[in-house]
Amino acid sequence: MKDKNVYIICLSIFPLMVCSGIIYSILSLYFQSLGAGKSQIGLLYTCGATSGAITAPFLGQLSDRIGRKKVLLVSMALFAFVFFGYAISKTWGHLFPIQVGEGMAWAALGASAMALIADFVPEERRGKAMGIYNTTWNLGWIIGPTLGGFLSDQIGFRLTFLICVFIILSGLAMGAFLLPKR
């Protein structure tokens, strides 16, 4: 029943995928509301992507050494901190370290989740397992953007980000209790 672990991984990261869909549907608008122009918004996203690109090999190596589950859970916790950081930011300049953290969180998630799936699933079923994992991403990004627009219209950016923190923490708790060690 190792394939069951794929569904547990997906169930654990699904809240994060919904929240990433929520956040990314409104994030540029939020950056703009904090005074960032188009060039600054581009720099912010570049900063996050650069930190992810730089740290991904190290985080992959770390998941080999200390365990993929631990790196995955740390990634999810870091996302919760990042989204909390968005909620309390006062100016667009405060967003640079938050973007660095988010890039690292994406790198850790990418390095650990797929490797964890590969650990649990025999080679002949990995394609299907990766498809299930990608479906989780897509479902989160189907639900998230509509929810993000609605929530931010109704309660504002900051409360939307805080709701995401709690949603991500629910996925983190599921992962902590349900995922087998790896």
pLDDT beneath 50, residues of the chain: 1
pLDDT at 182 (0 to 100): 64
Chain position carrying tokens 């985080």: 59
pLDDT at 168 (0 to 100): 97
- Residue 52's CATH number: 1.20.1250.20
pLDDT at 1 (0 to 100): 47
Q: Within a 10 A sphere around the Cβ of 69, how many other Cβ atoms?
A: 21
pLDDT at 135 (0 to 100): 96
Residues 35 and 91 sit within 8 Å (Cβ to Cβ): yes
Nearest to 180 by CA among 72, 94, 108: 72
What's the number of domains the chain is made of?
1
pLDDT at 181 (0 to 100): 75
Note down the domain range covering 30. Answer: 3-178
Distance of alpha carbon 40 from alpha carbon 46, whole angstroms: 10
CA distances from 52 to 39, 55, 146 (A): 20, 5, 27
Distance of alpha carbon 138 from alpha carbon 51, whole angstroms: 24
pLDDT at 2 (0 to 100): 61
Q: Within a 10 A sphere around the Cβ of 135, how many other Cβ atoms?
A: 12
pTM (two decimals) = 0.93
